[in-house]
Amino acid sequence: MPQPIEITFLGTGAAVPTPKRNHSAVLLHYSGEYILFDCGEGTQVQLQKAKVSPLKISKIFISHWHADHFAGLIPLIETLHLEKRKEALEVYGPNASRFIDAITELSYWGIGFDIIAKDVEPNQKVFENELFEITTVKTIHSVPSVGYCFKEKDHIHIDIKKANKFGLKGKDLKEIKESGKIKIGSKIVKLKDISKLTPGRRVIYSGDTMISKDLFKAAKEIDLLIHDGTHLDEQEFKSHASAKDVARWSKKYKVKKLALTHFSRRYKTSGEILRPVQKIFKNTIIAEDLMKVRV
């Protein structure tokens, strides 16, 4: 069984937090790795409530540098310093080095671990290991911004019976997995001849954005799309898509599950957004602080 991808919504409010909705932060846990998308004010207290040590976080991906998405970085870094973190912390974002330089300047005593700022642009692969990769997607906001796509590597299941038929042995299987084909005598055996491929699961976190066609193209048939849902249908703020439009686009692009987040304080109950949006796209959930979703 593949490992679960567990998402914990740490903050689901918009520019002004409420007692129920903290500033933006989404934690993704997969195969022992903890990744944070955005780090709004109060994120470390939310991490405590979710019973996750901040020391476990290896990478932070900032969608854009509005305070409701990054102001939690300063106290989080202070805590990591006090807890004697030694491992480097990677912080990704558009213009990340400019903001990380400014944040680290704020300390009297320096920080006891390295913070590696990674400047990103839309449509880039920004991280990859043997288990997953993270790419940026284009978003449309009032300042430089990106969304992030987490993609698990595809699973390749070798059918041993088929492999044996082609005369492949242990070390041949390693080679064919790595290079996609192998020469046996005069014959070339392709990986697809002896295996079944299960596509890796995908999650996109949009940050703040209007409707981005590029983002939805990347989100086609995606397992989970976490999208800005600041307003139900009002468009007086031109930097956010309406939740209803997000639902329409999610339906068009066959999103498997849509989690709306980043709600304006004007909405007192989740049902105010959920009911009209589910009429458009039934596979919608409304993110709540400390809600967990497994992919």
Using the minimum distance from each CB to Zn ion, give the nearer residue, 208 or 289: 208
Using the minimum distance from each CB to Zn ion, give the nearer residue, 208 or 223: 208
Establish if 41 lies at the interface with Zn ion (CB under 5 A): no
Establish if 38 lies at the interface with Zn ion (CB under 5 A): no
Binding window for Zn ion (CB under 5 A); candidates: 60-68, 142-150, 211-219, 266-274: 60-68
Establish if 208 lies at the interface with Zn ion (CB under 5 A): yes
Q: Is 170 exposed, middle or buried (0-12, 13-18, 19+ CB in 10 A)?
A: exposed
Binding window for Zn ion (CB under 5 A); candidates: 42-50, 202-210, 234-242, 268-276: 202-210
Using the minimum distance from each CB to Zn ion, give the nearer residue, 16 or 197: 16
> What residues between 147 and 166 interact with Zn ion by CB under 5 A?
none
Using the minimum distance from each CB to Zn ion, give the nearer residue, 152 or 208: 208
Q: In the complex, what is the shortest distance from the CB of residue 30 to Zn ion, in angstroms, rounded to a whole number?
A: 25
Binding window for Zn ion (CB under 5 A); candidates: 63-71, 92-100, 102-110, 126-134: 63-71
Query: How many residues sit in the footprint of Zn ion (CB under 5 A)?
Result: 2
Q: In the complex, what is the shortest distance from the CB of residue 225 to Zn ion, in angstroms, rounded to a whole number?
A: 17
Establish if 228 lies at the interface with Zn ion (CB under 5 A): no
Neighbouring CB atoms inside 10 A of 277's CB total 25
Active site residue 68: yes
Establish if 68 lies at the interface with Zn ion (CB under 5 A): yes
Using the minimum distance from each CB to Zn ion, give the nearer residue, 40 or 54: 40
Q: In the complex, what is the shortest distance from the CB of residue 160 to Zn ion, in angstroms, rounded to a whole number?
A: 51
Q: In the complex, what is the shortest distance from the CB of residue 66 to Zn ion, in angstroms, rounded to a whole number?
A: 5
CA 156 – CA 200 distance, rounded (Å): 10
Binding window for Zn ion (CB under 5 A); candidates: 1-9, 61-69, 96-104, 147-155: 61-69
Using the minimum distance from each CB to Zn ion, give the nearer residue, 6 or 288: 288
Q: In the complex, what is the shortest distance from the CB of residue 107 to Zn ion, in angstroms, rounded to a whole number?
A: 26
Check 68, 223, 245, 289 and give the catalytic one.
68
CA 187 – CA 68 distance, rounded (Å): 59
**Terminal CA-to-CA distance of the chain, rounded, Å?**
13
Buried b (16+ CB within 10 A) or exposed e, 22-32: bbbbbbbbbee
Binding window for Zn ion (CB under 5 A); candidates: 52-60, 68-76, 106-114, 139-147: 68-76
Q: In the complex, what is the shortest distance from the CB of residue 208 to Zn ion, in angstroms, rounded to a whole number?
A: 4
CA 8 – CA 43 distance, rounded (Å): 12
Give contact residues for Zn ion (rule: CB under 5 A).
68, 208
Residues annotated as catalytic (active site), given as ranges: 68
